[in-house]
Structure 1
């Protein structure tokens, strides 16, 4: 490939249709039609119906957890988790995450205490967590498992036990991952998974909370307000967090095809890895702490000085090719409303987060792309790097 073949120089886009970055799993139409017909025949649409119960049992068996409590989305699950844990005050959490992580705390009347992340793995940095525990009155640690990888759980658990605060996880990126044979879903007091359409297990929209604590599970089910789903226990308030039967139906279909989804992801990720290998100024983020990953995302860092282009410039090149690469996460939560008003100086103690927000780029993976498509994108990236000066002039030096 040479410069004139890039769309920013007038060539046709490499892809006829826009390529999104998310998984976007769609079941076979016939299977979807059968599932929806069953819902209509039963005339049972929500409130812990038979498909939701079936999904919970399947998740419990797959993950080896005592309780999988399905919810309408992961944000509701995180809000419920904070209430079920009885949290008060400040909660340590990364600003390098999807904003719903921190918004779940704000909705629960808690204060996010933003913590920096590890520059290599992008996971919550235990040494920074310890500093915050020593200097603040902290009520809990809400860690985030990113990119099909996990946090340094053993170190975080030690801190949790030493300081007497609960540890729980936003594991929206980690379904299907495991650590030394132990499935993610079994760590901390609880873990929350997302089944959004962009995730590796899709309910179109949905999620679940996993825990091995019977009392905590009972509180979660009562907060969710699924009548008849378990024994009545006292909770401060309830939320309409129930998963619909339509969501459960799609999730069950996605679960049936999960092995094929992982295989496809693995092949696409390998194609990116091979094509981008050795490219100056680009680092592909690969899971470090898991024994099995879901390859849910393809995320890379762009070093402007070495690569010759900034992250945003490369994004513009790719978007001209109908590759909808995303800045992820951008901006950091600490720079989003309302947190930028609450903590105007917090960026000074989040140097790694600040740096990552300026150089992380997400590339497409999932049902809409195959290994050949990944290699084609990799070649576009290579060409952009090799012709960086011309590209930059064409883009007008976009920062």
Structure 2
């Protein structure tokens, strides 16, 4: 591949259609049509219909959990979890996450206590959590299982037990993952999954909240407001978080295709790994604690000094090729409103998060990407490094 083939240097884009980073696996039209016709024939569209009930049973069996409570989206699920746990004061959580993680706390009247993450795994750092547990206002730990990997659950669970607070998980990235042979979904007091279209299990939109605690499950179902679905218990408010039958239908179809989706993701990831092996200044993240991963994301770190381009410059190069690489997570939650005003000096305590927000790049994977595309993207990244000086000159001239 010659330098003339780089679009940023005047060549044509290597991909005619944009390649997004999300999974975007959708069912075959015939299966989708059959499912939708069934919904219309039953004239039962929402409020814990038969497909939603079926999905919950399938998820409970698959995840080895007593209760899987389907909801309209994961953000509502996280809010419901905070309410059902009856938390107060502060909750330890990473700033290196999607903003909904902390917003669920704010909406529940809680204050996020931002904690730094491990520089190798990007997961919540147990040693940093331990330092924050001295705060007597802490009522829980909300950890995030990122990138198809998992947190150090043993260490975090030990800390939570010592302090006498619940440990629960935002597992939006972790459906289908396992920790020591145990399915993610059954390891925390509560775990919340996302079934957004960009996730490896898709309901187009949706999610579920998992727990093995019967009383907690009863509160979650009443907060969800399913008008009598399950045992009635007293809750402070409801969330109107019901999953529609259309969402449940797509999720069930996605579950049927799930083994093939994971296999294809693994093939794409393997191509990236081989193609990017040994590139100076580029580190491809690999799961370190998950015994089984879903290969939902392809994430790398860009070291500007060694690579010759910084993360944002490489993103610009790739986007010129119709490769819609994304900065994740940028900025960190602590730099987003309202938290930047609430905690103006917190960045001093989050050095790893600050560094990662400047160098993490997510590459395309999913239904619109195939192994050959991954090989081509890896080759373009290698070429970008070889042409770094020319690219910097072009970008500086455009500034």
Report TM bin, short chain.
over 0.9
Partner of 1:199: 199
Residues 219 and 307 of structure 1: CA distance in aligned 2, closer, same or farther (over 3 Å):
same
Counterpart in the other structure of 2:265: 265
Partner of 2:183: 183
Distance in 2 (CA, whole Å) between partners of 1:334 and 1:397 is 33
Tell me what 1:157 maps to.
Answer: 157
State whether residues 312 and 398 of structure 1, in contact with CA within 8 Å, keep that contact through their aligned partners in structure 2.
no
Q: Is the 8 A contact 1:149 1:288 kept in 2?
A: yes
Q: How far, CA to CA, are the matches of 2:251 and 2:287 in structure 1?
A: 25
Aligned Cα root-mean-square deviation (Å): 1.0
TM superposition shift of 1:330: 0.2
The unaligned stretches of length 5 or more in structure 2 are none
Structure 2 CA distance, aligned partners of 1:113 and 1:256? 39
In the alignment, which residue of structure 2 is the partner of 1:318?
A: 318
Does the CA contact (< 8 Å) of 1:310 and 1:359 recur in 2? yes
SS at match of 2:134: helix
Pairwise CA distance, 1:390: 0.6
Map 1:240-389; keep pairs closer than 5 Å.
240-389=240-389
3-state secondary structure, aligned to 2:293: coil
In the alignment, does 2:102 pair up with 1:102?
A: yes
Q: CA deviation digits over 1:293-348, x for unaligned, max 9?
A: 00000000000000000000000000000000000000000000000000000000
- In the alignment, the residues of structure 1 paired with residue 308 and residue 2 of structure 2 have an alpha-carbon distance, to the nearest angstrom, of 16
Give the SS at the match of 1:52. Answer: helix
Task: Give the match's secondary structure for 1:62.
Answer: helix
TM-score normalised to structure 2 length: 0.99
* Partner Cα separation in structure 2 for residue 179 and residue 113 of structure 1: 26
Partners of 2:3 and 2:358 in 1: CA distance: 26
Which 4+ stretches in 1 moved above 2 angstroms?
none
- Deviations 1:42-85 (CA, angstroms, capped at 9, x unpaired): 00000000000000001011111111000000000000000000
Task: Please show how residues 55-70 of structure 1 align to structure 2 within 5 Å.
Answer: 55-70=55-70
2:91, 2:180 → 1: CA distance? Answer: 28
Q: Secondary structure of 2:4's partner?
A: helix
Distance 1:334 1:398 in 2: 31
Supply the distance in 2 between the matched residues of 1:319 and 1:101 (Cα, whole angstroms). 28
Structure 2 Cα separation of the partners of residues 4 and 16 of structure 1? 17
SS in 2 for 1:134: coil
Give the deviation of 1:135 after TM superposition.
Answer: 3.9
CA-CA distance at 1:397 after TM superposition: 7.5
Q: Alpha-carbon deviation of 1:228?
A: 2.8
CA distance, structure 2, for counterparts of residue 171 and residue 136 of structure 1: 26
| Secondary structure, counterpart of 1:395 in structure 2 | helix
**TM-score, length basis structure 1:** 0.99
Distance 2:397 2:296 in 1: 32
Aligned to 2:38: 38
Q: Report if the CA contact (8 A) 1:313-1:398 is conserved.
A: no
Note closer, same or farther for the CA distance 1:341–1:390 as it changes in structure 2 (3 Å cut): same
Which segments of 5 or more consecutive residues in structure 1 lack a partner in the other structure?
none
1:27 aligned partner: 27
Q: How many aligned positions are there?
A: 399
- Relative to structure 1, is the Cα distance of residues 398 and 339 closer, same or farther in structure 2, using a 3 angstrom cutoff? farther
Q: By how many angstroms is 1:137 displaced? A: 2.2
Is 2:128 aligned against 1:119? no
